[in-house]
Amino acid sequence: MNFYPTEILRQQEQNGDIKSDNITVLMYHQISENKAICRKYWTCLHVDIFHKHLKLLEQLGYTPITFKDYQLVLSGELALPRRPVIITFDDGYEHVYNLAYPLLQKYGMAAVVFSIGNRQLETNEWDQSEGIPTFRLLKDNQLRELQANGFEIGAHSMDHSDLTTIPDSALRQEIHGAKYYLEDVLQSPVISISYPYGLVNSPIKALVRSAGFQFGCAVSTPHPSHLSDHYEIGRSTILNSTGPLALGIRLLRAYTYYEWARHRLSRVRGYRWRRKRKALRESARIKQDEITTREAVT
Ligand SMILES: [Zn+2]
């Protein structure tokens, strides 16, 4: 297949642009067979498109690595493959095990799955207020099987809280607790974490480092290279509409600069949006209180 990013990638390699700090890190969430759900929710990628992604990565000569592999590269124990890429899945949905894992195995590829530390949580309850359907999360034995087959299991906090808005005591539990409980399940060190909603700040990064994590994944990053800051790693978002061509473009060096600039702008807009949403929720709560008071009086 003569895919046009191939030539650009070859030139990048000749120019020495494929370095350890600009490995593309891809962020997936849910893989689904349900076309209606995939059309509606940006986090749901249809399994057939995911299959095409893997075919493309293979055709372009990419080798998916994990953060544990990357740590070995940094310590000089492993050579970086010619075209490395890191595939990550946030939230740890069971469909990653049922649908993505067999395909990745078929292509001899591994991925990083960021799982919730609260092992009592069986579905994505945190999405209910947004009207997103519930999906089952990975069970302990599935996490262990993925790890035994070359996957890396990272943490995704305890309960999927926005880490930037919770009190310090809760923050410690979200970070230390997730590491503790996942390590208990896996009987192996958990060295990577992805921040829920991609939200992080300097105190969170310091706490994550002190807890013993080596890598922290965000979405946007203050740096134009994905791995410049190991505690705020940038990732290219895979949407429900990201076809193979869009994936090919995401693998290009220029695209990481584009994403970096775009996310810096959206951070400003996102902050304004969160403030507006908070104000709306507050006014809805006051109205509900008024109705409850009226009902109690009558
Ligand atoms: Zn998440």
pLDDT single digits (tens) 44-67: 999 999 999 999 999 999 999 999
Write the burial class of residue 29 (CB in 10 Å: 0-12 exposed, 13-18 middle, 19+ buried): buried
Q: How many angstroms does the Cα of residue 253 sit away from the middle of ligand 1?
A: 26
| 4: nearest Cα among 58, 81, 82, 56 | 56
End-to-end CA distance of the chain: give it in Å, rounded: 74
Q: 275 pLDDT band (50/70/90 cuts)?
A: low
Could you tell me the residue ranges of all domains in the chain? 5-297
Q: How many angstroms does the Cα of residue 54 sit away from the middle of ligand 1?
A: 22
Q: How far apart are CA 273 and CA 276, in angstroms?
A: 5
**Confidence at residue 34, expressed as pLDDT on a 0 to 100 scale:** 95
Q: 11 pLDDT band (50/70/90 cuts)?
A: low
- Rounded average pLDDT over 102-130: 95
Q: How many angstroms does the Cα of residue 90 sit away from the middle of ligand 1?
A: 5
For residue range 236-258, what is the model confidence (pLDDT) as tens digits? 999 999 999 999 999 987 887 88
CATH number among 3.40.50.720, 3.30.470.20, 3.20.20.370, 3.40.50.2300, domain 5-297: 3.20.20.370
Residues lying with their CB under 5 A of ligand 1, a single-atom ion = 90-91, 196
Q: How many angstroms does the Cα of residue 102 sit away from the middle of ligand 1?
A: 22
Sign of CA dihedral 10, 2, 255, 161: negative
Q: 277 pLDDT band (50/70/90 cuts)?
A: low
Residue matched to tokens 């994936």: 247
Q: How many angstroms does the Cα of residue 140 sit away from the middle of ligand 1?
A: 18
Q: How many angstroms does the Cα of residue 176 sit away from the middle of ligand 1?
A: 17
Q: How far apart are CA 133 and CA 42, in angstroms?
A: 13
Question: Helix 140-148 vs helix 178-186: angle between axes, to the nearest 10 degrees?
Answer: 70
The least confident of 121-125, 147-151, 166-170, 253-257 is 253-257
- Residue 1 pLDDT > 50, yes or no? no
Q: How many angstroms does the Cα of residue 86 sit away from the middle of ligand 1?
A: 17
Residues 93 and 137: beta-carbon distance below 8 Å:
yes
Q: How many angstroms does the Cα of residue 197 sit away from the middle of ligand 1?
A: 6
